[in-house]
Amino acid sequence: MTEPDVVIIGSGPAGVSAAWPLVAAGRRVLMLDAGVGTIPNPAPERPSLRNLRQDPAGWRHLLGDDLRGLRKMTDVSPKLRMIPDAAFLSRFQDGNGLEPHGFSAIGILGRGGLSNFWGAVSCAYGPEDLVGSPVGAADLAPALRRVAARIGLSGCADDDLAPSHGTDLPLQPPLPLSPLAEALLARYQRHRNHLSLRLGRNRSAVLTQPLNGRAACDRSGACMWGCARGAIYSAASEVPELQRHANFALRDGFVVKALSVGGRGFVIGGTDARTGLPLHLEAATVVLAAGVLPTTRLALQCLERFDEAMPLQNCPAFAMALAVPSWLGRPLPDPAFGMAQLAFRMPLGPEPGDFAFGLLFGADAMAAPDLTAHMPLTRPGAAGLLRSLLPTLLIGLVYLPGSYSRNQVCLKRGNERMADRLVIDGGHSPAFDPVQRTLVRRLSRDFRRLGAYLLPGSAKPYPPGAEIHYGATLPMGARTTSSGEVTGRPGLFIADASALSRLSSKHNTFTVMANADRIGTLLAQRPT
Amino acid sequence: MTVPPECLRGSEPSLADRAMPDSLHGGSMHLVITGADGYIGQRLTAQAAAHGVAVTVLARRPGVRRVVWSLGLPVPDAAFARDPVAGPVDAVIHLAHHWTTEGDEAADPNIGGTAALLAAARRHGVPRFVFASSLSAQPAALNRYGRVKWRIEQLLSGTGEIAARIGLVYGGPRRGMWGTLCRIASLGPVVPMVTPWRQVQPIHLDDLCRGLLLLAGAPGPVTDPAHGVAVLADPEPLSFSRFLSLVARQVADRHLVVLPVPLAPILVILHLVNRLPFLPRVERERVLGLAGLPVVASGDSLRRLGLTLRPLEAGLAAERPGRHHDRRRRALIREGLVLLGYVRGRSPEPALVRRYVRAVEVHGTGIPLPMPGLLAGWPRLMRLVEPLPASRTPGQRLLSERLHIAALLVDATPDGGRRYDYRGESPVSAVLRLFVIVALEVVAMPFRLTLARRIWR
């Protein structure tokens, strides 16, 4: 392609979402992807989780031929265990010039980014989450609908959690629940008036009906080991669709190292992932969608804001285990959907948006040793205990709003051999510990009324950043305009979660995709 | 000189020496070698250098460049010349030490030599200077070595000038203090020792090298900002006699009894022993150094560097001589049999053990853990010595990691899969089953709390 109108840096959910409206409007779009090739999906003929577990050769699927599932990856989600090459993760830090201290900076320098391993929880930010943002719910609504139709959301439009997930969206029928989740939800319906907890079905970017060549979920239960049918959304699957358009081009293996003003507008410096040779590109309009940490680094570099500490938000999170004793002795049902079944929220304070958001997973869809490793019991004891408890067990992941995090990023100037690097200092706000303790108590009380008991000692906070919900470094209305354009750098746009004004406790990917679509649409309307 | 072919069968260095052409001796030769990073090249370069041959290596990647210097000589500018590929010098790691026993301590050549090197580094704007000091560095150390190291530490003042206080280094080629200790450990069965209750803080040679490279290269502050000292030593000291008997057991396969003796007679005996031919020489300075080692907190330094030290027993076990690879493999197979048998409840089939060994070699350290013999016979006894998840000593952490690998491997077999195939039972029997499990755990807990820490150091 000669002279692209727009260069998009990053091939993840935000980059792809910004690309669609631009491509549809006839703009010439060049997407830069740091990876080479795609991360392979499991073979479509992979057996269900139950069959895998009974097959002597099942370990090849569950741990990988090369036993990559046994890699030591402390504090990393078990989903990332099956990533074929650990270098995807390590290259993310080195390749993007990130220097984290007390912060887990996780990402994948490859096609589709982290969406390859997405849990697919899809929430639309509503008015309570957009307080202080120049972009209101009404501004986002059309883009949310477009993205929902494009990626396919399944869920329920009329339960207690539906307003949190987003209303007025095209939805596929919800995924079937496990019998235990079904029973918990039924009990909640009877007791909801006495609880501050709000419980409902999860909303996911997982198909229950075929869409755009992707098959519907077949409830094989092996979601944690990757989806063999493409039912779970990944941005990597959309890149070939974009490539069918003559005005879209992908340049892979382009690791962007530096962004500065010059030439036709901006000069993008990088290295070729295949050869290590330097690369150079000029563009009048650049959309940064490389993921919050790399995007922040490039934007600060372009703004020449060195040695200036600024806040980075993440959603402090913790895990917990709930057991429903009345289900003791019941047979373990067939695995169904292997990721979050139910979602819940719990208010934290009087401010709008000050609430915790949580998910409940069936414990049987995970590898039991990952659960027993945290128990103070011996391995055989824990395995025996778990076998009897599995039918009663739900694993919760609870997220707090970004205001409970206290991280800082600061761009440090490099030298002739080391690129400029983004130093990230991680931490929780002092309010996190007391609020988390109170929250655990209140959750424990409300779930107890539903017959589910918090296992003692099971509530464990993640280290800062390990939950991989980052954002709000270049908030719209402050460092960027409401159309995502960086203040003082006309032509430079931020399309990922860096541009959010604040992080809600809800999962932000779907909202970020809609915001990227909105920014792409506004950009497409500008005269060339 | 010609050598009869039958003499070349051995591998002693003296034979190799004799087989070397005379013209190589004397240090007048200068070779250019390419492919020096390869299998033959690495050995060739090392041998040539050991024979005093000047070597220039032409290589794709930057590598070793040698400049002639010795403590006491002026530092040549060439030492700090820019490398055409790697750029200017980023750090100096100063390990050189000239063993001195006599003369005025204040005028020790180590002090003057280091001062000259430091001045040259400062002049050339080298941002970091790492000086290899010792835990014995104290103004009133028992041996001259510790006092000289302390004096040199006082020369370091700028930011980026770091004294690395190093503990008792073990592992690798049997040279230096490690060589002496291996010789002492093989003297047995009874070894007299000065103050054997003295605490030492070991560190494996490879861990030390990693630590030094981190001190030289890690971005950001690597030492406590108040004083540029980093401590590279095991945070958990152990008595010197215990250390020496571990060396004897793991490296020389023998039991050692340590007999405490007062310092003065030992020095006299040493003096005599060192005069006798054929007996291993033991340096008086080194014995004095051991007698005067203080315990220094190293946890903070290691954490700041992000350096985790390998557990002592595992580190020593890997130092056994002989067919090293086979021994290691066999030990890993033994370990796999114990851990897999334990988490699975019955002995594992060979394919599963092979998978375990592969997993530990590829994704773990590959170093076998020392397994008490009792566990090899009854893997179920592990119930009494399994560490708790919160345990923090390196040995316990390493065992927990291995158990996790074993558990995930078993989980991915039909045996493990059957655990997910729970067909249900009456609530009463389910409750009873849970009660029995918890009761067994309660019984095991005191043993785990007391024994795990001792066994998996």
Structure tokens that stand for B323 in this block: 């067919």
Check residues B389 and B428 and name the one with the higher pLDDT. B428
Q: What is the pLDDT along chain A (528 residues), one digit of tens a residue?
A: 678 999 999 999 999 999 999 999 999 999 999 988 888 888 888 888 988 998 999 988 888 888 888 887 666 677 777 776 666 666 788 888 899 999 999 888 889 999 988 999 999 999 999 999 999 999 999 999 999 999 999 999 999 999 999 999 999 999 999 999 999 999 999 999 999 999 999 999 999 999 999 999 999 899 988 898 999 999 999 999 999 999 999 999 999 999 999 989 999 999 888 887 889 999 999 999 999 999 999 999 999 999 999 999 999 999 999 999 999 999 988 878 889 999 999 999 999 999 999 999 998 888 888 888 888 899 999 999 998 899 999 999 999 999 999 999 999 998 766 789 999 999 999 999 999 999 999 999 999 999 999 998 899 899 999 999 999 999 999 999 999 999 999 999 999 999 999 999 999 999 999 999 999 999 999 987
Check A387 against B440: CB less than 8 A apart: no
Identity of the residue in A328, A332, A378 whose CB atom sits nearest the CB atom of B420: A332
Burial classification of residue A265, based on how many CB atoms lie within 10 Å of its CB (0-12 exposed, 13-18 middle, 19 or more buried): middle
- Burial class of residue B218 (count of CB atoms within 10 Å of its CB; 0-12, 13-18, 19+): middle
Residue B432 touches chain A, beta carbons under 8 Å: no
Structure tokens at A307: 């040695």
B429 has a chain A CB within 8 A of its CB: yes
Which of B381, B419, B423, B447 is most worth mutating to test chain A (most A CB atoms within 10 A of its CB)?
A: B419
Asked whether the beta carbons of residue A390 and residue B422 sit closer than 8 angstroms, the reply is: yes
Write phi, then psi, for A289 (nearest 5 degrees).
-145, 45
Chain B: closest CA distance from residue A480 (Å) = 30
- Cα–Cα distance, B220 to B212 (Å, whole number): 15
The token pair at B176 is 């230096």
CB pair distance less than 8 Å for A67 and B448: no
Contacts of B400 in chain A (CB under 8 A): 373
Mutate to test the interface with B, among A82, A326, A379 (most CBs of B within 10 A): A379
B259 CB within 8 Å of a chain A CB: no
Ramachandran angles phi, psi of A114, nearest 5°: -70, -15
B393: DSSP letter? S
Following CA atoms B66, B69, B71, B72 in sequence, which dihedral angle do they give, to the nearest 10 degrees?
-170
d(CA B405, CA B21): 53
Nearest in space to A181 (alpha carbons), one of A366, A324, A329, A389? A324
Q: What is the number of alpha carbons within 13 Å of residue B247 lying toward its C-beta?
A: 29
Tell me how far apart the alpha carbons of residues B112 and B117 are, in angstroms, rounded to a whole number: 9
Query: How near does any CA of chain A get to the CA of B57, in Å?
Result: 23
Q: Which of residues 41-100 of B touch A (CB under 8 A)?
A: 86-87
- Paired with A100 in beta bridges are A424
Cβ separation B424–A375 shorter than 8 A: no
Interchain proximity A70–B359, CB inside 8 Å: yes
CB pairs under 8 A between A and B: 146
> Three-class SS of residue B275?
coil
In B435-454, the residues whose Cβ lies within 8 Å of chain A are 437-438, 440-441, 444, 448
8-state DSSP, B322? S
Task: Return the closest-CA partner of residue B356 out of B392, B391, B331, B390.
Answer: B331
Minimal Cα distance from B386: which residue of A?
A378
Contacts B440 to A, Cβ<8 Å: 381
Instruction: Write down the pLDDT at residue B224.
Output: 65
* CA dihedral of residues A420, A425, A426, A429 (deg, nearest 10): -130
- CB spacing of B389 vs A375 below 8 angstroms: yes
Q: Minimal CA–CA distance to B193: which of B181, B209, B202, B175? A: B181
- DSSP secondary structure, A10-48, as one string: --SHHHHHHHHHHHHTT--EEEEESSSS-PPPPPTTPPP
Collect all residues of chain A within an 8 Å Cβ-Cβ radius of residue B390: 376
Per the structure block, which two tokens stand in for B30?
Answer: 């200068």
Burial bucket for residue B43 (CB in 10 Å: 0-12, 13-18, 19+): exposed
Using the Cα atoms of residue A51, residue A54, residue A59 and residue A62 in order, give the sign of their dihedral. positive
DSSP A327-378: GTTPPPPPP---S--EEEEEE-SSSTT-EEEEEEEEGGGS-HHHHHTTSSS-
Question: Is the CATH number 3.30.43.10 carried by domain B22-174+195-238+259-307?
Answer: no
CA dist., res. B337 & res. B354, Å (int): 10
Residues of CATH 3.40.50.720 domain(s) within chain B?
A: 22-174+195-238+259-307
Mutate to test the interface with A, among B422, B426, B435, B449 (most CBs of A within 10 A): B422
Assess contact for A493 and A285: CB atoms under 8 A: yes
In angstroms, the CA A294 to CA A227 distance is: 27
Separation between Cα atoms, residue B300 and residue B298, nearest integer Å: 6
Element housing A87 (H / E): helix A87-95
